[in-house]
Amino acid sequence: MNGEFAARQDWLGGPLGQELLAAEAELMAGALDDVFGLELLQLGCWGPPRALLSGSRTRRQTIIAEHATPGQVDLVARLTALPVQRDCVDAVLLPHTLEFDADPQAVVREVDRVLTPEGQLIVLGFRPFSLWGLRIAGSRSGFPPGLRRLLPEARIRDWLGLLGYEVVQAQPYLYTRPWERGAPHSRRMLRRGLFNPLPAGAYLLKARKRVYTMTVVRPRWRERPQVIGTLVKPTTRNRT
The answer as to whether 238 is a domain residue is no
The answer as to whether 12 is a domain residue is yes
pLDDT in tens, 180-227: 655 445 556 776 666 567 789 999 999 999 986 555 555 555 554 544
C-beta separation of 53 from 64 below 8 A: no
Better pLDDT: 174 or 180: 174
Residue 176 confidence (pLDDT): 83
Q: Domain tally for the chain?
A: 1
Task: Please say if the pLDDT value at position 113 is more than 70.
Answer: yes
The range of the structural domain enclosing residue 151 comes to 3-233
The answer as to whether 239 is a domain residue is no
Task: Please say if the pLDDT value at position 7 is more than 50.
Answer: yes
Task: Please say if the pLDDT value at position 103 is more than 60.
Answer: yes
The answer as to whether 146 is a domain residue is yes
Report how far apart, in Å, the C-alpha atoms of 124 and of each of 28, 32, 93, 96, 146 are: 10, 13, 8, 5, 16
The answer as to whether 240 is a domain residue is no
The answer as to whether 68 is a domain residue is yes
Over residues 75-85, mean pLDDT: 95
Q: What percentage of the chain carries pLDDT values higher than 90?
A: 55
Cβ-proximal residues to 37 (8 Å cutoff; 6+ apart), any chain: 58, 59, 90, 91, 116, 119
Task: Please say if the pLDDT value at position 235 is more than 80.
Answer: no
Helix (H, G, I), strand (E, B) or coil at 236: coil
The answer as to whether 178 is a domain residue is yes
DSSP string, 27-70: HHHHHTTT--SSEEEEES--SSTTTT-TT--SSEEEEEESS--T
Q: Give the phi and the psi of residue 206 in degrees, each rounded to 5.
A: -125, 125
Pairing status of strand 115-126 against strand 89-95: parallel
pLDDT in tens, 30-50: 999 999 999 999 999 999 989
Buried b (16+ CB within 10 A) or exposed e, 44-80: bbbbebebbbeebebeebbbbbbbbeeebbbeeeebb
Residue 6 confidence (pLDDT): 87
Give the predicted TM-score (pTM) of the model.
0.84
pLDDT in tens, 123-166: 999 999 998 898 888 887 778 888 889 999 999 999 999 999 99
Residue 226 confidence (pLDDT): 47
Pairing status of strand 75-76 against strand 39-43: unpaired
Residue 140 confidence (pLDDT): 76
Any idea what the CATH number is for the domain that residue 33 is in? 3.40.50.150
Name the amino acid, one letter, at 210: R
pLDDT in tens, 9-32: 899 998 889 989 999 999 999 999
The answer as to whether 40 is a domain residue is yes
Report the mean per-residue pLDDT for the chain: 85
